[in-house]
Amino acid sequence: MLDIQYIRQNADTLQEIANKKHIQISIAELLEQHQLRSHTLQEIEQLRQQRNTLTRGISEQIRTSADTAEEMKQRVRDINVQLQKLEQQASQVLEKYDALMAIVPNTVSPDTPDGESDEDNVLLRQIGMPPVFTFPARDHIELGELHDMIDTARGVKVSGSRHYYLKGNGVLLHRAVQQLAFDLLMGKGYTPLEVPLMVRGSALHHTAFFPLGMDQTFRIGQEDHWLTGTSEVALVSYYQNEIIDLAEGPIRLAAASQSFRSEVGSAGRDVRGLYRVHQFAKVEQVVLCEANPEVSERIHQEITANAEELLQLLELPYQVVAVCVGDMSQKTYKQYDIETWMPGRQAYGETHSSSNLHDFQARRANIRYRTEAGELRFCHTLNNTAVASPRILIPLLENHQQEDGSIYIPAALRPYMNGMELLAAPPVTIN
């Protein structure tokens, strides 16, 4: 969230950002509600003061003038009626004001590209070359079925569309890429956490996944419990309503967790395979740092480099794009996406997203720190996917396939794969 005074001073700019981020909000209406809220609360306070003054004077008037005391009592009753109406009105105004404040977009960095959708994202760099196959290449589902390690048919049978089973070496690869990413972050000073997968709605509001992302989130029955789509929610919320200590530098957190997304709005898109599924695993990196744009920009480059290092260890070709304002979420100040080459799609597909939120998230979650001068300030928060699986298995299998159907295992993964250098092609069965 943003400070209301900042919103007032930058109303036109924020309305333009909201329009480009496809957020349906009127900043002018928000400011009107804020003014009405302030005026109503002021009236309520004045009436309460009048009532208190009258109440204190009644006992004195009882001793001197019963008629005056009765008049004062009637005035108190009248004020109570007015207060009841005003308090109801204030409650309605506050509810509307809070609802509008909850969807005000974050500002965007000066170097964020303009644009309406992911088609307007700007290529920053490409690392590695897509493989040129001299044979008919298989996609990840064909390879998974050939090696008996991906079974989408039974996943659909048991759980419905966008579900799957991983088997045998598919499970080993799934766990191996996560552990490689986890170990990479541990080596860079990240504190590992095992986090809740089910959180209260307040945690999702505090981290700005609600209310606009509510349709993407699975709810547990009628309770106020929701399955998270990323451990970012739990990692940031770990410090909600706290004053953190940044005296020794940024706080770096990492978690490996299951994640869940309803994928509302994606009907008919990426139905085949593992690209867009309801349940997946992520290793997430979250950093909390001082409210210094230069510091958070440096960390943004750092967390992006961590994900790039992981892809280089997996020996996969990828590209980094600067995400345009129209493809960014409400909470994001600046974002990079990393897209990995997927031969089966004949295109780069998003595998990582790296975001700098400045203090937008910390304000909602009320996470502050003390400056050297002792001033309390909201910190900056950043997040990035270190790896998400099974999506990463798509380029891993497809790029490293061999003509005979075998699959090369990158050297960095071999310690997590019992030393295997190759997933050998199954023997051909002749009927």
Q: Which residues are catalytic?
A: 261, 276, 350, 353, 391
**Which amino acid makes up residue 303?**
I
Q: CB of 325 within 8 A of CB of 17?
A: yes
> What residues have CB less than 8 Å from 11, skipping those under 6 apart?
27, 28, 31
Q: CB of 124 within 8 A of CB of 318?
A: no
Q: d(Cα 409, Cα 44) in Å, to the nearest integer?
A: 70
Residue 412, CA atoms < 13 Å, CB-side half-sphere? 17
How many other CB atoms are found less than 10 A from the CB of residue 68? 14
**Which amino acid makes up residue 57?**
G
Q: d(Cα 283, Cα 391) in Å, to the nearest integer?
A: 12
How many other CB atoms are found less than 10 A from the CB of residue 278? 19
> What residues have CB less than 8 Å from 114, skipping those under 6 apart?
20, 120, 324, 325, 326
Handedness of CA 245, 288, 4, 12 (dihedral sign): positive
> 391: closest CA among 351, 333, 356, 430?
351
What distance separates the 2 farthest-apart alpha carbons in the chain? 114
Tell me whether strands 191-192 and 251-260 are parallel, antiparallel or unpaired.
parallel
Give, in degrees to the nearest 5, the angle at Cα 97 between 204 and 83: 125
CA 426 from chain centre, in angstroms, equals 41
CA 344 from chain centre, in angstroms, equals 28
